[in-house]
């Protein structure tokens, strides 16, 4: 009798392994025969464009993402993640020197900063260095485009949190200036300013002009030359508050549905370009991974959840909202895989050696999938300090999960994509990602297989020892 039970158990395990292998093979075949990752990037970057939280582009992109997942048979819904005080949309912009010699200008404006009142033309003037000078020269700034100094790193002239115009800004507004112009390095970075309110809208355009053109313009003015400028900047607003949403999609587990594997990518972007690399490429790969899982008929033991987060660029607000709302599920999340690093090909993952068996299956699944790209896990059993995941300049949405004690293994990638050059600049467009379409598709199938193998693993996925123990975590 015992021998029969033993043979039966071997048969059951064998069938389970065979089904698992068949699902992995199906995922790979779907990716090879019908690759669609660039379809999703095309929609995100060319149909909706720059997707700053609180814009129509973001609202429509979130709705489309949710609907697309539902069309694949995946349960998906929109969850409110926060609100901004003022709605903002960016239209076209143009600027030129009209006289003495006509020349097109290269410039950008941060989000939530003022546009022009249609086409506005006026002389340029060198601006004041102090408030006292601004007040003393007030008559000289009426109807002028005013060159000012200060840091023009792409951030709004008047702050990031609450719109409170500086004293010099107020003086220039009162004087009747047309707008301010700062020098900016290329490629032009245009981030965000401070959202105001409908009752107190920003009114003075905040122009970041390419440094060579700014220097030449200032030299002309210093030599006493009259220079006429013309700008047409269609930044426009609508009354708030405006809600933005996370998109949450779920493939329920069949054996341990309470344990969760989360796939994450932020859906929002800065809007001076179309958010193709940051982070359309991340959302596109996660969407494609979910399509491959759904189309393969995957029935993993654990639950797989994908979250497209809102307002990552404004302080990871969408992921903070998610972990607060889903606190119970977050505690039972065995792993969070985030994609926010550009369109390189995923080449590996750094994991504790206790997970070696799981990712050995991923490595095997990916063998021969691509003639150039391959996948190999790296092992590191050193406990991590979860607090180091969150800094002002480092860490994306995964850092929020790390603070909650969720393992967030680092994905490695190979690519010659110049990510720093396009990050948050006017160059973050679809055509710059197109040469990496093969890498994008490979990353999508790698994500799908990692999610599936982790979610379907017969062995436990333990977080023990992943982080250093402290008073706020699970270890």
Residue 10 falls inside a structural domain = no
Task: Kindly list the distances between the CA atom of residue 244 and the CA atoms of 26, 52, 86, 236, 304, in Å, as whole numbers in the listed order.
Answer: 36, 10, 12, 18, 23
Predicted pLDDT at 392:
53
For residue 167, the domain's CATH number is 3.50.30
Predicted pLDDT at 310:
98
Q: Does one domain contain both 199 and 294? A: no
In which band, very low, low, confident or very high, does the pLDDT at 6 lie, cut at 50, 70 and 90?
A: very low
Average pLDDT over residues 400-404: 96
Predicted pLDDT at 162:
77
Q: Does one domain contain both 211 and 250? A: no
- Give 32-97 as a DSSP string: HHS--HHHHHHIIIIII----TTSHHHHHHHHHHHHHHHHTT-EEEEEEEEEEEEEEEEEEEEEEE
Q: What percent of the chain has pLDDT over 70?
A: 94
Residues 108/272, Cβ–Cβ less than 8 Å: yes
Residues 455/304, Cβ–Cβ less than 8 Å: yes
Residue 467 falls inside a structural domain = no
Report helix angle 437-456 to 356-366, nearest 10. 140
DSSP for residue 405: T
Residues 381/390, Cβ–Cβ less than 8 Å: no
pTM comes to 0.93
Predicted confidence (pLDDT) per residue in 302-320, tens digit? 999 999 999 999 999 999 9
Residue 470 falls inside a structural domain = no
Q: 209 - beta bridge partners?
A: 107, 183
Q: How many domains does the chain divide into?
A: 2
Q: Does one domain contain both 413 and 319? A: yes
Domain of 139 in residue numbering reads as: 101-226
In whole angstroms, give the CA distance from residue 136 to residue 151. Answer: 24
Residue 235 falls inside a structural domain = no
Predicted pLDDT at 394:
61
Is the model's pLDDT at 381 over the cut of 70? yes
Average pLDDT over residues 113-135: 97
Average pLDDT over residues 200-212: 95
For residue 432, the domain's CATH number is 3.40.630.10
In whole angstroms, give the CA distance from residue 387 to residue 457. Answer: 29
């Amino acid at each position: 009798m015992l021998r029969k039970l033993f043979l039966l158990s071997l048969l059951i395990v064998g069938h389970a392994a065979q089904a698992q292998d068949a699902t992995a093979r199906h995922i790979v075949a779907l990716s090879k025969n019908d690759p669609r990752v660039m379809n999703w990037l095309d929609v995100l970057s060319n149909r909706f464009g720059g997707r700053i939280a609180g814009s129509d582009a973001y609202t429509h992109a979130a709705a489309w993402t949710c609907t697309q997942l539902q069309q694949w048979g995946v349960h998906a819904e929109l969850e409110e993640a926060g609100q901004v005080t003022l709605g903002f949309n960016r239209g076209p912009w143009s600027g030129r020197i009209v006289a003495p010699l006509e020349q097109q200008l290269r410039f950008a404006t941060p989000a939530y900063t003022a546009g022009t009142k249609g086409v506005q033309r006026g002389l340029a003037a060198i601006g004041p260095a102090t408030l006292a000078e601004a007040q003393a020269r007030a008559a000289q700034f009426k109807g002028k485009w005013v060159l000012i100094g200060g840091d023009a790193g792409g951030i709004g002239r008047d702050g990031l949190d609450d719109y409170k115009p500086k004293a010099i800004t107020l003086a220039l507004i009162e004087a009747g200036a047309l707008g301010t112009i700062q020098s900016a390095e290329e490629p032009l970075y245009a981030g965000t300013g401070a959202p105001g309110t409908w009752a107190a809208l920003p009114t003075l355009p905040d122009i970041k002009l390419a440094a060579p053109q700014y220097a030449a313009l200032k030299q002309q003015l210093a030599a006493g030359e009259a220079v006429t400028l013309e700008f047409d900047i269609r930044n426009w607003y609508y009354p708030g508050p405006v809600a933005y949403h996370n998109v949450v999609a779920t493939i329920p587990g069949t054996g341990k549905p309470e344990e969760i594997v989360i796939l994450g990518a932020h859906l929002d972007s800065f809007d001076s370009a179309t958010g193709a690399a940051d982070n359309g490429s991340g959302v596109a790969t996660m969407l494609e991974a979910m399509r491959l899982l759904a189309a393969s008929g995957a029935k993993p033991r654990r639950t797989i959840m994908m979250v497209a987060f809102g307002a990552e660029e404004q302080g990871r607000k969408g992921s903070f909202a998610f972990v607060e709302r889903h606190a119970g599920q977050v505690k039972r999340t065995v792993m969070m895989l985030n994609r926010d690093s550009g369109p390189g090909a995923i080449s590996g993952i750094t994991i504790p050696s206790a997970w070696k068996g799981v990712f050995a299956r991923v490595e095997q699944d990916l063998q021969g999938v691509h003639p150039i790209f391959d996948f190999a896990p790296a092992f590191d059993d050193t406990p991590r300090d979860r607090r180091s995941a969150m800094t002002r300049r480092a860490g994306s949405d995964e850092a929020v999960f790390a603070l909650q004690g969720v393992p967030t293994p680092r994905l490695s990638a190979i690519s010659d994509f110049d990510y720093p050059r396009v990050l948050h600049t006017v160059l973050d467009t679809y055509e710059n990602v197109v040469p990496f379409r093969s890498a994008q598709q490979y990353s999508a199938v790698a994500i799908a297989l990692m999610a599936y193998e982790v979610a379907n693993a017969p062995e436990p996925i333990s977080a023990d020892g992943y982080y250093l123990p402290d008073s706020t975590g699970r270890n």
